[in-house]
Structure 1
Amino acid sequence: MRVAAPTLIRLHRKARALELGWPDGRRAELPCEYLRVFSPSAELRGHGLPEPMLLGGKREVNIARIEPVGSYAVRLVFDDGHDSGLYSWDVLDELARDYEQNWARYLQRLDEVGMSRDRDVVKLAALVGRYTPPKR
């Protein structure tokens, strides 16, 4: 299903949130942290992973720039240097629609492995050593 382009895309830097509005009147305000940890990039999505790679330490991330990509998407350039995710209208619609469920699962996953939304380099280094990629 193709979703109509948002009629509103507004970054609220101080609040670290992206406000979206669609022609049917729906609106959403999505935290930059959420958009970053659910980036549609191959870096986080891999090839067929059931969930995005778990990424902590992004509580303070913000969007530095929003770049249009044709008439179907935007590239969100984050202030941590991440810029490889193309957020199509379908992806933004899905992220907005599934926000509550996605965010709850993200927080659960962080808790399960002892990671934090805040930068925690020591724990991250320990986790990298224990990471086992999913079997195909």
Structure 2
Amino acid sequence: MSAPIPSNVHYHKQARELELSYPNGEHYRLSVEYLRVFSPSAEVRGHGRGQETLQVGKKFVGLKNVTPTGRYALKLHFDDGHDSGLYSWDYLWWLIENREANWADYLQRLEEAGASREPLGIEIKQL
């Protein structure tokens, strides 16, 4: 069974949340931090099990843009420069359905690595 396709996608900039609304009236808000640390890109997930790169310091990440990719996905352009992952409708639905377990696992991996959600310092972006 395929995941439902959102009828509307809205970015709440101040809350840093992406809201997905579905034709049946359900809607879900996912934090940009959650979307960033679970990016489907090879940069984050690697090219196979065990090759994932733990994302740290992403607590305050936001979105610069959201663009549709065909009729099957969204491309999220994060303000930390990351924009290589395509978020298919199936993947977004998986993120919604598994949000609590995914987040708990992420926090556990951060703790085990002695890492933090907090940025390390002032980020300087090259133009």
**Of Structure 1 and Structure 2, which has the larger fraction of its residues in helix?**
1
- Structure 1: runs of 5 or more not aligned: 122-136
Structure 1 position 27, deviation (Å):
1.8
Amino acid at match of 1:73: A
Identity %: 52
Alpha-carbon offset, residue 50 of structure 1: 5.1
Compared CA separation, residues 50 and 2, structure 1 to 2 (3 A): farther
Counting only pairs closer than 5 Å after superposition, residues 18-97 of structure 1 correspond to structure 2 as 18-49=18-49, 52-97=52-97
Give CA-to-partner distance per residue, 1:13-56, whole Å, 9 cap, x none.
00000011222333211000000000000111111225842111
The residue aligned with 2:124 is none
**Structure with bigger gyration radius:** 1
Q: How many residues align?
A: 121
Q: 1:99 corresponds to which letter in structure 2?
A: R
- The alignment partner of 1:108 has SS state of helix
In the TM superposition, what whole-angstrom CA distance separates every residue of 1:40-87 from its partner, at most 9, and x where no partner exists? 001111112258421110001001100110000010000000000000
Unpaired runs of 5+ residues, structure 2, are 122-127
Equivalent residue for 1:131? none
Q: What's the RMSD between the two structures over aligned residues?
A: 1.5
Q: Which runs of 4+ in 1 moved over 6 A?
A: none
